[in-house]
Amino acid sequence: MLAGKKAIVTGSTSGIGLAIAQTLAAKGADVVLNSFGDRDEDRAAADEIAGTHGVKAVYVKADMSKPDECRDLVAKAGAALGGVDILVNNAGIQHVASIENFPPERWDAVIAINLSSAFHTMAAALPAMQQAGWGRIVNIASAHGLRASINKSAYVAAKHGVVGLTKVAALENAEAGITCNAVCPGFVLTPLVEKQIEDLMAEKNLDRDTVVRDLMLYKQPTREFATADQIGETVAFLCSDAAAQITGTTLSVDGGWTAQ
C-alpha cells in the first residue's frame, strides 16, 4: 500500500512510535527511526525492520526538544531515504504534578517535545511535499488533546496545541495534495504508561490491578487498553489513498473515552 513512500517517525525506538514504524514498513514504506540517544539497540531496531520487511530503515539521532535538531532530522532523513513523503510526529513525554508543583523546566520540556517539535519538523518537511504535490502528516496527539485530566497541565496544553496546529497545517496545504491529521489514543500500554502505573501504585499504596482498573481504564468504556499496533494501523490508514479527503481532523482510538 505504501511501497516507495519515505517516512519519518519521531520518537520511534519504543512504544507507539516503534509500532508505527513497523506498520509503515510492513506496508512497504522506507522509514527513519528516531530518538535522542546513540544506542546500538536503536540502530539494531532499524536493521531488524529493514530485514523483516525488505525496506530501507535507518536510525537518525535527533533530540526533539531542540528546534535545530528537529529540522536537521528532516534534512538527514531526506538525504538517507531520498525524500520525505510521510511525517509522523510521535515523540512525547509526560510529567504529572499539580500546576503549583509543576517544575517550570518540565513544563518547557513537555511543550518542546510534545508540541513545538511538530511545528519544526513540519516547517522543514512541507516545502518538498508541496513541490511533490503529495504528503501525509500524522501527529500523535491524545485523548488529552480533546479532554483534560488533573495534574497533566503541560501534556494537556501541548496535546490541545497539537490538535490546533494540525488543523492549520491541513488548511494551509489543502490544495497541495497534503493531508494533516491527529490521532488521539486513549491509554496504550507502553513504557510511558507503565511509569504512570508504577508512580500511582507507590503514591496511593495500591496494587497494579486496582490502579489500572480504578485510576486509568475507568475513563475508557471498553475497559481495555488500546494497542500500539492499532495506532500503527490507524496511521497507515491515514497515509493511504482511501484517506485522501480526510484532513484537519482528529481520529480517536480511545475505547470510547471521548464519547462521554
Which x/- pattern over 93-112 shows residues binding ligand NAD (rule: CB under 6 A)? x-------------------
Which stretch of DSSP H or E encloses residue 232? helix 228-239
Tell me: does residue 220 bind ligand NAD (CB under 6 A): no
For the chain, give percent helix, strand, coil, nearest 5. Answer: 55, 15, 30
Q: How far is the CB of 67 from ligand NAD (least distance, A)?
A: 12
Identity of the residue, 133 or 198, whose beta carbon is nearer to ligand NAD in the bound complex: 198
State the residue for C-alpha cell 525524500: 83
Tell me: does residue 185 bind ligand NAD (CB under 6 A): yes
Whether 94 and 196 have beta carbons less than 8 Å apart is answered as yes
Member of 23, 153, 181, 190 binding ligand NAD (CB under 6 A): 190
Q: What is the DSSP letter of 113?
A: I
Tell me: does residue 157 bind ligand NAD (CB under 6 A): no
Whether 155 and 94 have beta carbons less than 8 Å apart is answered as yes
Tell me: does residue 140 bind ligand NAD (CB under 6 A): yes
Tell me: does residue 113 bind ligand NAD (CB under 6 A): yes
**Type of residue numbered 77:** A
Q: Which residues contact 100 (CB under 8 A, 6 or more apart)?
A: none
Number of residues that bind ligand NAD (CB under 6 A): 28
Site residues (vs ligand NAD, CB under 6 A)? 11-17, 34-36, 63-65, 90-93, 113-114, 140, 142, 185, 187-188, 190-193
